[in-house]
Structure 1
Amino acid sequence: MILVTGATGTVGRLALERLPADCAVRVLARDPSRVAVPRKGVEVVRADYRDPASLGKALRGVHRALLVTSRVGGDDDVVFLRAARRAGVRRVTKLSAAAVVDVRAQDLITRWQRDCEAALTSSGLEWTLLRPRAFMSNVLSWASSVRTESLVRGLYGHAPNACVHPRDIADVAVLALTEDGHAGRAYTLTGPQPLSAVEQVEQLAEVLGRRLRFEEMEPPQARAALLRRHSGSMADALLDSALRQKAGSKAQVLDTVRAVTGGEPRSFRSWAQEHAGAFGPAREQATRSTKFSERGSPLTGHAVSL
């Protein structure tokens, strides 16, 4: 039995869709009504990291699990792993982040991620760590301004990031859950090339056949925007991450996706083509090869992602 957590999020949902039909699969969710069940036979159970008794029931009979947590600073991983040991789970595949191996990353989010990894690697369970760069899907946070203003705003727009397609992360997760040979491995996952937010806007504009403008934000503007959605400590963590990206710490491309899956990592252009509808209807242009984007400003979504 394989248990999937985080099935209402990006990677958990995609991993759930990709698990082989002959696998016994159970999904843990606080709200089962939000889970899109991809096929018959997938069991969805109500459980919460803050309710150890519910975790024990959800983990009964489970041998391998995909662990996705998001409550920064919380002890969800510790609580889950304690319940997993009691239930006899053998291996846990954990979604982490590439920033954990950057010694310059000492922000709140990265310190929490390191603590979560340490809880797993010291748990006595077999483990596999997935450490992706920023998700290409982070640029969905641009959708509203692209639809209404043909504009993307962001911080450090020319800072490169080897962002990764979420499907590639999910493919590696599925292999770690269903194959032997992945225990004790930590996989840092990147896309095929480093791209700045400006370059992403250019490619998105070409895919949409629309003229898009990029508008650079100043750090005080970016901080104010972040504080409308996050606490001060979270905003500081995201701004610290953006500075590391500006310094080039997220530009390295690794061949991990190809080495693990046997396939080439998916490009940002392919992601944009798959999700073009989220940014509004495309307007037909005389030629699709024209560069439609104009320099303007960076966004507070992808440009400050970990």
Structure 2
Amino acid sequence: MYVVIGATGIVGRNVVEQLRAAGAEVTAITRAPDAAVLPPGTTVVRGDPSGPDIPDHAWDGVEAVLLSSRAALVSASELLSHAARYGARRVVVVSAATVQYPAGEPRFIAGFRALEDAAESSGLAWTCLRCSDFDANALAWVPQLRGGDVVRGAYGDAATSPIHERDIAAVAIRALTEDDHAGRHYVLTGPASLTQHDKVRILGTATRRDLSFAELAPEQIRAAMTAQGLPADVPDRLLGSLADYAHTPGPTTDTVAELLARPALDFATWAADHASAFTR
């Protein structure tokens, strides 16, 4: 049985779906089980990883744990201690490429490093997935593109190799279910480096619209995000990394293709998969 912490997040949900499609037993930990909408047969348990506040019965029969939640930053060691006590053998951590290729504010990098450290000192066979930014981060543009054809943002030339959440999940499942990935740090990226201008153009093709990216000052973007009621950490995290990627593009690796024996899914595939989300 596999325990997924962060089961309703972008990666966790995909891991649950792919494991259940393969017939595996899955326990999904979520703060809001009534709204989880996970595949039939999933055992959904109310729990808060930040406490940690996860019922003991959630660990019954556990073989491996996916830790895909920043909420667990301060409690990861205790969570994994519980998992080990109940017989878990492996842990897979969804981390960030910035641990190996620094970008953005050091405090955010330190958080991911702490998560990795907890896994590495847990006594479990561990694997850390150091992911580039997610294709799904483009969903932040949905409100703008439902109201018009222009994405307004800062650092339009910031370049990364964004990764499809299905690829992260597929690699995570390999690491959860196989012995060959213990003690590995995998830097996972998409197949191509793209600027924000590139991503908007590709979204335009997927939605059959003439979309464009309009450059604004970082201070304007920060003020707009704050006005929406977002915590200060959100613009800090976004703008800090974009500023660095505008000077030095993020990494591009072949790791996904090597591990899955197929090409990594590109942003055009993600855009086609999610085109309806951007429909006016």
TM-score (norm 2): 0.92
Corresponding residue of 1:14: 14
Structure 1 residue matching 2:159: 3-state secondary structure:
coil
Structure 2 residue matching 1:198: 3-state secondary structure:
helix
CA-to-partner distance for each residue in 1:84-118, whole Å, 9 max, x for gaps? 23222211111111111124655222111111111
Aligned-residue Cα RMSD (Å) equals 1.9
Corresponding residue of 1:236: 236
Deviation at 1:230, TM superposition (A): 4.0
CA-to-partner distance for each residue in 1:8-49, whole Å, 9 max, x for gaps? 111111111111533222112222112223233x21222222
Within 2, Cα distance between the matches of 1:160 and 1:104?
12
Within 2, Cα distance between the matches of 1:100 and 1:117?
9
Within 1, Cα distance between the matches of 2:51 and 2:8?
19
- Amino acid corresponding to residue 246 of structure 1 in structure 2: A
Within 1, Cα distance between the matches of 2:149 and 2:99?
35
Change (3 A) 1:147 1:34: same
Q: Residues 108 and 233 of structure 1 are in contact (CA less than 8 Å); yes or no, is this contact kept in structure 2?
A: no
Deviation at 1:234, TM superposition (A): 4.9
Corresponding residue of 1:88: 87
Within 1, Cα distance between the matches of 2:108 and 2:261?
32
Change (3 A) 1:52 1:196: closer
Corresponding residue of 1:168: 167
Deviation at 1:187, TM superposition (A): 1.1
> What 5-or-longer segments of structure 2 have no aligned partner?
none
Within 2, Cα distance between the matches of 1:16 and 1:140?
21
Within 1, Cα distance between the matches of 2:237 and 2:135?
20
After alignment, is 190-199 or 176-185 more displaced? 176-185
Change (3 A) 1:145 1:234: closer
Structure 1 residue matching 2:272: 3-state secondary structure:
helix
Q: Residues 8 and 34 of structure 1 are in contact (CA less than 8 Å); yes or no, is this contact kept in structure 2?
A: no
Deviation at 1:265, TM superposition (A): 0.5
Deviation at 1:56, TM superposition (A): 2.8
Within 2, Cα distance between the matches of 1:171 and 1:160?
24
Q: Residues 5 and 66 of structure 1 are in contact (CA less than 8 Å); yes or no, is this contact kept in structure 2?
A: yes
- Amino acid corresponding to residue 36 of structure 1 in structure 2: V
Deviation at 1:164, TM superposition (A): 0.6
> What 5-or-longer segments of structure 1 have no aligned partner?
282-306
CA-to-partner distance for each residue in 1:200-252, whole Å, 9 max, x for gaps? 111111222212121101021122134344444553343221121112241x2
Corresponding residue of 1:290: none
Within 1, Cα distance between the matches of 2:192 and 2:233?
31
Equivalent positions of 1:87-126 (< 5 A) are 87-103=86-102, 106-126=105-125
Structure 1 residue matching 2:38: 3-state secondary structure:
coil
Corresponding residue of 1:298: none
Q: Residues 7 and 29 of structure 1 are in contact (CA less than 8 Å); yes or no, is this contact kept in structure 2?
A: yes
- Amino acid corresponding to residue 185 of structure 2 in structure 1: A
Within 2, Cα distance between the matches of 1:17 and 1:280?
25
When Rg is computed on C-alpha atoms for both structures, the one with the higher figure is: 1
Corresponding residue of 1:278: 277
Deviation at 1:50, TM superposition (A): 4.5
Aligned residues: 278
Within 1, Cα distance between the matches of 2:173 and 2:39?
15
Change (3 A) 1:17 1:246: same
After alignment, is 217-226 or 187-196 more displaced? 217-226
- Amino acid corresponding to residue 95 of structure 1 in structure 2: V
Deviation at 1:55, TM superposition (A): 4.1
Structure 2 residue matching 1:123: 3-state secondary structure:
coil
Deviation at 1:127, TM superposition (A): 0.4
